[in-house]
Amino acid sequence: MHSRLMKNFAELVCSRPYMWTVDGTLPEVIAFLSGVNYACQVAAPEGGNYDGGSPKALLDWLTTEFSVPGVAAKENWIVGLRDRYGTDEAALAAMQKYAASLPIEVDRWFEVGDAE
């Protein structure tokens, strides 16, 4: 069994929200991860294959767990997380736990430089 020495990007953001957002709130974290995901999609080289990494995987999980047809996704996610987990801190902890469960190579697109 190998030890887990690194955290993926979404896990880092959820574990230290004040480092990545102004007030560290649940809505800010979700907006930040959504923005990162969108920026990566737009910045992907033409013909490149951006798989979304941990931000997209976490947003997909939120969609699966908390979306309600006909209502803006982010609004559903926040209400659903607060209903299920009680506090924003507990919701962020649940998001961090989900992100930590992702495969270690989930953020290979974020890596800088050549692996060789």
The pLDDT tens digits along the chain (116 residues) read 334 568 899 999 999 999 999 999 999 999 999 999 888 888 777 766 677 889 999 999 999 998 877 777 777 889 899 999 999 999 999 999 999 999 888 887 665 433 43
In eight-state DSSP terms, residue 70 is: T
Any domain includes 13: no
- Is 32 part of any domain? yes
- Residue 110 within any structural domain of the chain: no
The pLDDT, as a whole number, for residue 110 is 62
In a domain, 73, yes or no: yes
Residue 111 lies in a domain: no
Query: Which domain does 62 fall in, by range?
Result: 20-42+50-104
Q: What is the pTM of this model?
A: 0.83
Residue 111 has what pLDDT?
Answer: 56
How many domains is the chain partitioned into structurally? 1
